[in-house]
């Protein structure tokens, strides 16, 4: 697949794409376009539909409704009428654009990586000699050249992952789909993988499904976030963080008590979720540190949802307007005084991608 | 053709690595030779013929090929390589025919391994080599059809056990339907129909040295029909939930 593509040309186009299973799980409806020159992270918790979406793109599954097109072609059909023969041909042509590494690195145990990748290259209609060369190139690119002639069944998890990634690169496909590709890779291998993907992402369309946020922020230029099979965010990493960030109050306490009961006690007193931040507590040399979402506190207590804490959320004793953050600080202070704890610091902080991801994929909006 | 060749080579390599293949092949040959020399008592008879040896082949070859086919698509499903195979730029026919070709090749190789038994019998008595050629043609046609039937069952089977049971059931039904019909006292037109679709009588005709084009056509048509059916089943599995 040596054809040059414009970066804005859609490599993958999904229109009202939907596939539901009898259990109710599945994905859709999804509307999105993926382009050449992008490294896209597909994020979501377990069961969000990441693998199903990838399987729809590869043609492993057919859509229940809507459509997916790979470089303008439909990747698969389950039509069996004589007229479907053309669609079978077109499906094979669409899959020529794709390189795919499925989750859990399924490999033929009786073959060596070289044999398996040569098979993949031959299935891409390459002559035998060219296929052998393509297999060797892909193995070296993925850092699996040293295990090329060992049986797949004897490989370590890390090496299996590398062979799986190499499998997606054989024959230079224009669209590379990697489903949880970094499982089993050590930090050095992971770094090499990041460099490889960044190199590929200059020209190709690369889609990586992961729930490792480090992977996503290190290499992706765009994120698609799935929850319960639906696309809940689509944009650049910074764009999603900015849009999803909400102001938090970071409270540091010296109490002599353990963190867990304090967390429970504070959450009960405020009536909103409180998240312990042990790393911050250790870093600051205090007994406990907690993050409390300002907007949820204000919302929970029937006040104006200020989000940024700028608008008036309450009144102080003298009747002056108080922001959401100030209301929250006052309540935390009252709680600490009541229990005899010492507040070492209270500061307003912004949530990071992890916190934004958690909110996008776990938290439910009111009434949801 | 290149893609069919790719699948054929891959499948042969996978089967080469399966110990079960060697065990099943050895059992097939051992049973056939044991039946011929010991139970039938070839050396103690006045007639030099290997027909009883070939007569024992249908059930043994059916079991052998069913075991081989258990290692194809159902095994791909079990270990997840099904997803690799189904997402490559192969047309449905490439995957089905390539896999069929590999199993048929192994079956042919196993039939070729019976040559020492037949040649040994030729040394002990005067065999009619024209009839022997017909018997080998019958065995090859039988292998082609049995493989197509087992591939048809294996494509849609969710597990290896179902693939094996399903294949054996369908094969024995097609092989022995006429004998069963006679046993239950089926008569008239119904018996003729059952006899026409049964495989064993046609195989018996061929190993008797009667080369009837209708018998040859029967095996060719049945093979093509089950292979086409396998392609259709392969395509429709894309609907499946996993």
Q: Is A307 a residue whose pLDDT tops 50?
A: no
Q: How far apart are the first and last CA of chain A?
A: 46
| Domains of chain A with CATH codes | 10-243 (3.40.50.300), 246-350 (no CATH)
Mean model confidence pLDDT for chain A: 81
3-state helix, strand, coil in chain A (%, to 5): 40, 25, 35
Q: Is A367 a residue whose pLDDT tops 50?
A: no
CA-based nearest residue in chain A for residue B1: A125
**B224 vs B233: CA distance, rounded Å:** 14
Which of A119, A150, A183 to probe the B interface (max B CBs under 10 A)? A119
Cα A65 → chain centroid: 24
Evaluate whether A98 touches A204 at the Cβ level (below 8 Å). no
Predicted local confidence at residue A39, as pLDDT: 93
Tens of pLDDT, residues A9-27: 789 999 999 998 888 788 8
Predicted local confidence at residue A310, as pLDDT: 43
Tens of pLDDT, residues A234-253: 888 777 777 666 677 888 88
Evaluate whether A170 touches A136 at the Cβ level (below 8 Å). no
3-state helix, strand, coil in chain B (%, to 5): 80, 0, 20
Is B91 close to A76, i.e. CB distance below 8 A? no
| Token reading at B239 | 């609907």
Predicted local confidence at residue A308, as pLDDT: 40
Predicted local confidence at residue A275, as pLDDT: 79
Predicted local confidence at residue A304, as pLDDT: 39
The model's confidence at residue A301, banded by pLDDT at 50, 70 and 90, is: low
Predicted local confidence at residue B126, as pLDDT: 78
**A201 vs B51: CA distance, rounded Å:** 66
Tens of pLDDT, residues A114-134: 999 999 999 999 999 999 999
Predicted local confidence at residue A34, as pLDDT: 93
Q: Could you tell me whether strands A175-179 and A205-210 are parallel, antiparallel, or unpaired per DSSP bridges?
A: parallel
| Phi, psi angles (nearest 5°) of residue A340 | 75, 25
Nearest by CB to A124, from B13, B14, B89: name it: B89
The top-scoring range by mean pLDDT among A87-101, A128-142, B165-179 is A128-142
A347 secondary structure, DSSP code: E
Higher pLDDT, A357 or B74: B74
Evaluate whether A208 touches A220 at the Cβ level (below 8 Å). yes
User: Angle A79-A84-A90 (CA atoms, 0-180°, nearest 5)?
Assistant: 105
Report DSSP letters for A300-346, one per residue.
HTTS---TTT-SEEEE-TTS-EEEHHHHHHHHHHHHHHHHTPEEEEE
Closest by Cα among A196, A186, A17 to A99: A196
| Beta-carbon count within 10 A of A200 CB | 20
CA-based nearest residue in chain B for residue A21: B241
Categorise residue A258: left if φ over 0, alpha if ψ from -120 to 50, beta otherwise.
Answer: beta
Closest by Cα among A64, A58, A7, A60 to A30: A64
Min mean pLDDT across A128-132, A202-206, A283-287, A364-368 is at A364-368
Q: Within A220-323, where are the H helices?
A: 237-244, 259-270, 278-284, 294-300
Tens of pLDDT, residues A162-198: 999 999 999 999 999 999 888 778 888 888 888 888 8
Q: Please enumerate in sequence order all residues whose Cβ is within 8 A of that of A8, keeping only pairs 6 or more positions apart, or say none.
A: A35
Report DSSP letters for B159-225, one per residue.
SHHHHHHHHHHHHHHHHHHHHHHHHTT--HHHHHHHHHH-SHHHHHHHHTT---HHHHHHHHHHHHH
Closest by Cα among B195, B158, B155 to B179: B195
Predicted local confidence at residue A366, as pLDDT: 44
Q: How far apart are the first and last CA of chain B?
A: 31
Q: What percent of chain B has pLDDT over 90?
A: 35
Predicted local confidence at residue B115, as pLDDT: 85
Residues of chain B with pLDDT under 50: 241-242
**In Å, how far is B152's CA from the nearest CA of chain A?**
15
Nearest by CB to B13, from A80, A107, A110: name it: A110
| Token reading at B82 | 């099904």
Is B10 close to A115, i.e. CB distance below 8 A? yes
Which of B7, B71, B238 to probe the A interface (max A CBs under 10 A)? B238
This complex has an ipTM of 0.84
The model's confidence at residue A305, banded by pLDDT at 50, 70 and 90, is: very low
Give the residue extent of every domain in chain B: 2-239
Q: Which residues of B touch A (CB under 8 A)?
A: 2-3, 5-7, 9-10, 13-14, 16-18, 79-84, 86-94, 232, 235-242
What burial class does residue B178 get, using C-beta atoms within 10 Å of its C-beta: 0-12 exposed, 13-18 middle, 19+ buried? buried
**B45 vs B90: CA distance, rounded Å:** 54
């Amino acid at each position: 697949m040596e054809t040059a593509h414009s970066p804005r040309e859609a490599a993958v186009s999904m229109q009202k794409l939907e596939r539901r299973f009898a259990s109710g799980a599945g994905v859709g409806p999804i509307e999105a376009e993926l382009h050449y020159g992008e490294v896209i992270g597909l994020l979501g918790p377990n069961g969000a539909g990441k693998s199903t979406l990838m399987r729809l793109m590869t043609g492993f599954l057919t859509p229940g409704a809507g459509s997916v097109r790979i470089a303008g072609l439909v990747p698969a059909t389950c039509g069996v009428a004589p007229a479907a023969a053309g669609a079978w041909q077109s499906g094979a042509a669409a899959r020529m654009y794709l390189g795919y590494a499925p989750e859990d690195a399924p490999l033929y145990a009786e073959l060596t990586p070289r044999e398996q990748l040569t098979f993949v290259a031959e299935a891409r209609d390459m002559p035998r000699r060219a296929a052998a060369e393509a297999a060797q190139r892909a193995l070296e690119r993925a850092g699996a050249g040293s295990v090329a002639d060992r049986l797949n069944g004897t490989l370590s998890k890390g090496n299996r992952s590398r062979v799986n990634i190499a499998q997606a690169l054989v024959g230079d496909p224009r669209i590379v789909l990697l489903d949880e590709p970094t499982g089993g890779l050590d930090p050095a291998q992971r770094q090499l993988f990041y460099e490889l993907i960044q190199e590929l992402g200059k020209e190709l369309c690369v889609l990586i499904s992961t729930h490792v946020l480090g992977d996503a922020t290190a290499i992706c230029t765009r994120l698609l976030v799935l929850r319960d099979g639906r696309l809940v965010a689509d944009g650049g990493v910074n764009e999603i963080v900015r849009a999803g960030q909400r102001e938090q109050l970071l409270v540091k306490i010296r109490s002599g008590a353990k963190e867990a009961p304090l967390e429970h006690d504070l959450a009960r007193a405020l009536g909103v979720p409180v998240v312990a931040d042990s790393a911050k507590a250790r870093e600051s040399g205090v007994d406990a540190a907690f993050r409390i979402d300002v907007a949820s506190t204000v919302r929970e207590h029937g006040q104006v949802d200020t989000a940024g804490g700028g608008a008036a959320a309450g009144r102080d004793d003298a009747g002056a307007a108080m922001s959401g953050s100030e209301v929250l600080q006052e309540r935390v202070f009252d709680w600490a005084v009541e229990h005899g704890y010492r507040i070492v610091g209270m500061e307003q902080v912004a949530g990071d991608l992890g916190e934004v991801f958690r909110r996008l994929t776990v938290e439910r909006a009111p009434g949801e | 053709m290149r893609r069919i060749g790719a699948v054929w080579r891959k499948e042969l390599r996978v089967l080469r690595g399966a110990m079960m293949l060697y065990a099943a092949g050895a059992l097939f040959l051992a049973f056939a030779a044991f039946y011929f020399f010991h139970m039938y008592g070839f050396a103690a008879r006045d007639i030099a013929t290997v027909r009883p040896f070939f007569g024992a082949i249908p059930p043994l070859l059916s079991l052998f090929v069913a075991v081989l086919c258990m290692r194809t698509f159902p095994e791909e499903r079990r270990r997840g390589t099904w997803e690799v195979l189904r997402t490559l730029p192969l047309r449905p026919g490439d995957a089905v025919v390539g896999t069929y070709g590999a199993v048929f090749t192994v079956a042919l190789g196993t039939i070729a391994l019976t040559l020492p038994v037949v040649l040994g019998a030729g040394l002990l008595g005067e065999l009619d080599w024209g009839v022997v050629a017909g018997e080998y043609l019958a065995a090859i046609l039988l292998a082609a059809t049995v493989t197509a039937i087992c591939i048809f069952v294996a494509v849609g089977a969710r597990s290896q056990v179902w693939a094996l049971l399903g294949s054996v059931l369908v094969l024995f039904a097609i092989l022995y339907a006429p004998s069963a019909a006679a046993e239950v006292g089926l008569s008239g037109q119904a018996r003729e129909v059952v006899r026409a679709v049964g495989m064993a009588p046609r195989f018996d005709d061929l190993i008797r040295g009667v080369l009837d084009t209708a018998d040859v056509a029967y095996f060719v048509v049945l093979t093509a029909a089950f292979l086409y059916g396998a392609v259709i089943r392969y395509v429709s599995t894309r609907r499946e939930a996993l």
